[in-house]
């Protein structure tokens, strides 16, 4: 009989795969050198949504999250929250971690909770893993600007337009990849054709305004300028992402295109005329082309 491969399990929500999550994930990935298969184990739904009817806005789509996890060397695994929600901490460890997943090593963050009613804490997991013959590592908080990194902090930064700070906490620029849809072609008529994308329900929408961005299209990653808002100058009401890539020509309608926000340029504004709007877009395009990456992406990590 073939012996079941032992696994190294990183446990958590990993909703942003930020630098705090990355420390937990790396601890599991490092065990691959000991012959273990590294897994990132999450729930199929956010517990807050299942328990209280409202989950925090998402920071990553499933496909982008899975790509990040696989690039780190860990395989994503999603457990059924409805199946596990009423398990005691010990039953979760014995039946799921050890029995089902074959965990020989488990890594979690310092504030991890588990089991029915979040009764189990990180110290309880260490004790239970030891009881069942597995090693458990509790990863201390990863800080940015003197405070622990969290998905909540990242959402707050995005809501304020502080995308460089969000990028520093993510460990990469904040980005999204949604289908490009047809708009009213106003940008094209002004000489600035844009990629129009809508944020799905339940996804984090950054502060309204204009951003320096980079866009992946045609096999390249190009500097761009992105407006997030309702287009008040022309009476728009629906919030969307509109991205202009200088010098790019191609049909991207119906394709999933990724846009990464690098820095906030200015607030959303209603202009007196379309000509005034065109002049501002020209200035935004120049500013985006001249933008230099700030130190916030690489400094102040502890």
pLDDT level of residue 227 (50, 70, 90 thresholds):
very high
If asked whether residues 184 and 120 sit together in one domain, one would say: no
Q: Which residues of 227-239 are buried (b: 16+ CB within 10 A; e: fewer)?
A: bbbbbebeeeeee
Claim to verify: residue 135 and residue 182 sit in the same structural domain: no
One domain, residues 188 and 84: no
Of the given ranges (221-225, 261-265, 276-280), which has the lowest mean pLDDT? 276-280
The torsion angles phi and psi of 275, rounded to 5 degrees, stand at: -65, -40
> Is residue 107 located within the same domain as residue 226?
no
Together in a domain, 139 and 182:
no
Neighbours of 143 (CB within 10 A): 15
149 vs 259: CA distance, rounded Å? 23
Query: Are 282 and 221 contained in the same domain?
Result: yes
- How far CA 121 is from CA of 9, 28, 110, 113, 116, in Å, comes to 17, 19, 9, 5, 11
Residue 249: what pLDDT? 78
Query: 229: phi > 0 → left, psi -120 to 50 → alpha, else beta; which?
Result: left
Number of independent structural domains in the chain: 2
Do 97 and 16 reside in the same domain of the chain?
yes
Give DSSP secondary structure letters for 142-190: PEETTEE--HHHHHHHHHTT-HHHHHHHHTS-EEEEEE-B----HHHHT
CATH number, position 260: 2.40.30.30
CATH of the domain at 98: 3.40.50.620
Q: What is the structure's pLDDT at 50?
A: 77
The pLDDT tens digits of the residues spanning 255-277 come to 999 999 999 999 988 777 778 88
Distance of CA 79 to the CA centre of its chain: 19
Which residues does 159 contact at the CB level (< 8 Å), separation at least 6?
206, 207
> Do 33 and 71 belong together in one domain?
yes
Residue percentage of the chain with pLDDT more than 70: 91
**Over 80: is that where the pLDDT of 302 sits?**
no
What average pLDDT score do residues 282-288 get?
A: 91
User: What pLDDT does residue 26 have?
Assistant: 97
Mean pLDDT of 35-41: 97
Q: How far is 214 from 199, CA to CA, in rounded Å?
A: 17
Question: Which residue's entry shows tokens 């705090």?
Answer: 20
The per-residue pLDDT for 25 is 98
User: What average pLDDT does the segment 276-297 reach?
Assistant: 82
Q: What is the C-alpha separation between 96 and 100, in angstroms, rounded? A: 5
Tokens of 89: 């901490």
Expressed in angstroms, the distance from the first to the final Cα of the chain is 47
Q: If you average pLDDT over residues 242-264, what whole number do you get?
A: 91
Phi and psi at residue 66, to the nearest 5°:
-65, -40
Average pLDDT over residues 235-257: 85
Contact 34/187 with Cβ under 8 angstroms?
no
pLDDT at 2 over 60: no
pLDDT of residue 300: 39
Residues of the domain holding 86: 7-144
What integer is the mean pLDDT of 15-38?
Answer: 96
> Do residues 174 and 261 touch, judged by C-beta distance below 8 A?
yes
Strand spans (E) along 28-112: 37-43, 75-79, 103-109
């Amino acid at each position: 009989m073939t012996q079941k491969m032992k696994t190294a399990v990183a446990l958590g929500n990993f909703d942003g795969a930020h630098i705090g999550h990355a420390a937990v994930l790396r601890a599991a990935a490092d065990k691959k050198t000991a012959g273990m298969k590294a897994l990132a184990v999450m729930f199929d739904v956010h517990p807050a949504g299942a328990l209280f009817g409202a989950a925090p806005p998402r920071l990553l789509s499933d496909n982008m999250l899975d790509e990040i996890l696989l690039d780190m060397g860990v395989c994503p695994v999603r457990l059924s929250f409805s199946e596990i929600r009423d398990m005691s901490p010990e039953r979760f460890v014995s039946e799921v971690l050890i029995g089902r997943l074959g965990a020989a090593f488990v890594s979690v963050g310092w504030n991890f909770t588990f089991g029915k009613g979040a009764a189990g804490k990180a110290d309880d997991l260490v004790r239970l893993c030891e009881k069942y013959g597995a090693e458990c590592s509790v990863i201390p908080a990863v800080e940015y600007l003197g405070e622990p990194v969290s998905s909540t902090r990242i959402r707050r930064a995005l809501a304020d337009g502080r995308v460089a700070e969000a990028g520093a906490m993510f460990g990469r620029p904040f980005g999204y990849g949604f289908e490009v849809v047809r708009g009213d072609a106003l940008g094209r008529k002004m000489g600035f054709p844009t990629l129009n994308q809508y944020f799905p329900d339940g996804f984090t929408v950054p502060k309204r305004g204009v951003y320096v961005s980079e866009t992946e299209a045609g096999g390249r990653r190009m500097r761009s300028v992105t407006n997030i808002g309702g287009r008040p100058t022309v009476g728009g009401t629906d919030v969307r992402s509109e991205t202009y890539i200088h010098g790019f020509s191609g049909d991207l309608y119906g394709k999933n295109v990724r846009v990464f926000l690098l820095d906030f340029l200015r607030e959303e504004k209603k202009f007196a005329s379309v000509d005034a709007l065109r002049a501002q877009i020209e200035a935004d395009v120049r500013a985006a082309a001249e933008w230099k990456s700030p130190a916030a992406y690489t400094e102040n990590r502890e």
